[in-house]
Structure 1
């Protein structure tokens, strides 16, 4: 059985996905994100904690707030893993087509 990276579970939520995309383009504080997204700051903080725990987001103190940004290297690793899964499914589907055409 394949062990899936925690990152995939972290990205299963659409809000977390959208936060990650936003942070990839615009590092932001939780307060700034709460102004951009239609959810509370507390909810933003919970989503950021999941993304940070998965290694997809890093934070650093800036004044009285923390600035969050996406971790490019971790996202590249995740992209490679997803590409591997896609290629495996392509092979399976090609084999299934071949078997179906034999009938």
Structure 2
């Protein structure tokens, strides 16, 4: 049986700053929606929608415990993101090195 593709990919999920904040919040502990909502100035429904996007992307896991649903970070999909970004790190390092040399040479010109 083929796996059902995610509705949202990791890149779409982390594009929103609220969802990035949710990931940070859930990185330390498993939390119910009510506790999570207390960290945001939006409705619990809005927080649940954001959690749904994260769950669709596989970034959070939810578990029913009694009457509440608890969420926790599932960091595995972030490895895909890290691997993708790592390819471009070479370009960043080259550009940052060039910028450093430019700034340092500009400072030397000002001193003389």
CA drift of 1:61 comes to 0.7
Structure 2: 5+ residue runs without aligned partners?
1-7, 99-112
Matched, 1:11 2:14: yes
Structure 1: 5+ residue runs without aligned partners?
98-103
Aligned residues: 90
Task: Give, in whole Å, the separation in 2 of the partners of 1:13 and 1:65.
Answer: 25
Matched, 1:32 2:35: yes
Matched, 1:90 2:55: no
Aligned to 2:102: none
- After superposition, the Cα gap between the structure-2 partners of 1:49 and 1:91, relative to the gap in structure 1 and judged at 3 Å, is same
Structure with the higher fraction of residues in helix conformation: 1
SS at match of 1:66: strand
C-alpha RMSD of matched pairs (Å): 2.1
Q: TM-score scaled by structure 1?
A: 0.75
Q: TM-score scaled by structure 2?
A: 0.69
Task: Give, in whole Å, the separation in 2 of the partners of 1:85 and 1:69.
Answer: 29
1:18-97 aligned within 5 A: 18-87=21-90, 89-90=91-92, 93=95
